[in-house]
Amino acid sequence: MRLAGKVALVTGAAAGIGAATARRFGREGALVVVNDARADGLEAVAADVRAAGSKALVVAGDVTKKADCERMVGAAVRDFGRLDILINNAGINRDAMAAKMTEEQWDAVLAVNLKGTFLCAQAALPGMRERGWGRVVNTSSIGSLGNIGQANYAASKAGVIGLTKTLALEYAKYGVTVNAVAPGPVMTAMLAGVPDAIKEKIIAMVPVGRIAAPDEIASVHVFLASDEAAFITGQVIFADGGASVGI
C-alpha cells in the first residue's frame, strides 16, 4: 500500500472524482478526512474507506470560508495527529457565454475553484512545512486552456495552475510538493446526464476515444501523493486522453 499510515484530506469527496479518490486512498492505507460543502453522501464514502480496512473522518465545510478550511485541517490533526496530504478537488461550474455571464456566476466559480484551493492549502501547508513532508494536489482542468461558455471556469482553472507553481516554489525546500491534475472529460454524475449526442461529440475530441472513469483520475492522485513522486513538484498532469495535445 503506497499511502500506508498517511493522513489525507479530500475536498469535494461526496461524489465523482473526490469520492473515487477517497475510496482509493483508503485502499492504499491512508487515513482519510472526507469533505464536501454538504454532508450528503459523505458517510457512504467514509463507510467504503472503513470497509477497506482504514479510518475515515467526515467533516462538512465550505472551502470558500477560511474558518471552515482551518477547521477541516484541525479535525485531521485532532483525530489523526497530523495532515500529510491535501487533495484540493472541490469545484463547481456555472456556464454562460461571456456577454451574458452574471457577476454572481463569475464570483461563485472563482470562489470555490480558486479561492477555495488557496484557503485549503494555506491552512494545510504550515503543518507540512513543520514536519518536513507534505503533498498538495490541486485540480485544474483541460478547460484551463479555454472553452466556449466557460470564461469563469477557464479563468479559475488557469489560476489554479499559477497558484500551484508558486506554492511549489515556496515550499520545495521544506519537503513539500505541490502539483496539479488537469482532467479531461470524466464520467461523473454531471456528465452522465448529458444527452448521448453531446457525449459522442465529446468523445470525438479525445484521441483515446472514450471518457475517463473517476478512478483513473484517482490513480494520478495516488501517484502524486506517494513517495514515488518525491522529485515532482510544480507540475500539471493533463489526464485527458490526449485531448490537450492538439490545442
How does residue 242 score in pLDDT terms, banded at 50, 70 and 90?
Answer: very high
The residue-averaged pLDDT of 217-222 equals 98
Phi-psi map region of 16: left, alpha, beta (phi>0 left; psi -120 to 50 alpha): left
Q: Is the pLDDT at 195 greater than 90, yes or no? A: no
The residue-averaged pLDDT of 15-43 equals 97
Whole-number pLDDT of residue 191: 82
Q: Is the pLDDT at 210 greater than 70, yes or no? A: yes
For residue 41, being part of any structural domain is answered with yes
Strands 56-58, 31-34: parallel, antiparallel or unpaired by DSSP? parallel
For residue 221, being part of any structural domain is answered with yes
Query: What digits encode the pLDDT tens for the residues 146-178?
Result: 999 999 999 999 999 999 999 999 999 999 999
For residue 1, being part of any structural domain is answered with no
Q: Given the residues 80, 106, 153, 171, select the one marked as catalytic.
A: 153
Whole-number pLDDT of residue 148: 94
How far is 37 from 14, CA to CA, in rounded Å?
A: 9
Decide: 91 and 138 in contact? Cβ < 8 Å.
Answer: no
The pTM for the full model equals: 0.97
The residue-averaged pLDDT of 4-31 equals 98
For residue 247, being part of any structural domain is answered with no
Residue 171 annotated in active site: no
Write down the residue that cell numbers 487515513 correspond to.
Answer: 31
The three grid cell numbers given for residue 110, joined into one nine-digit string: 472563482
Whole-number pLDDT of residue 247: 67
- What is the domain count for the chain? 1
- Bigger pLDDT: 247 vs 46: 46
CATH number at residue 47: 3.40.50.720
The whole domain housing 206 covers 7-239
Query: What digits encode the pLDDT tens for the residues 45-98?
Result: 999 999 999 999 999 999 999 999 999 999 999 999 999 999 999 999 999 999
- Who's near 77: CB < 8 A, 6+ residues apart? 83, 127
Report the share of the chain in percent with pLDDT over 90. 93
How does residue 194 score in pLDDT terms, banded at 50, 70 and 90?
Answer: confident
For residue 170, being part of any structural domain is answered with yes
How far is 73 from 194, CA to CA, in rounded Å?
A: 35
The pLDDT mean for the chain works out to 96
Whole-number pLDDT of residue 190: 75
For residue 2, being part of any structural domain is answered with no
For residue 219, being part of any structural domain is answered with yes
Q: Is the pLDDT at 198 greater than 90, yes or no? A: no
For residue 244, being part of any structural domain is answered with no
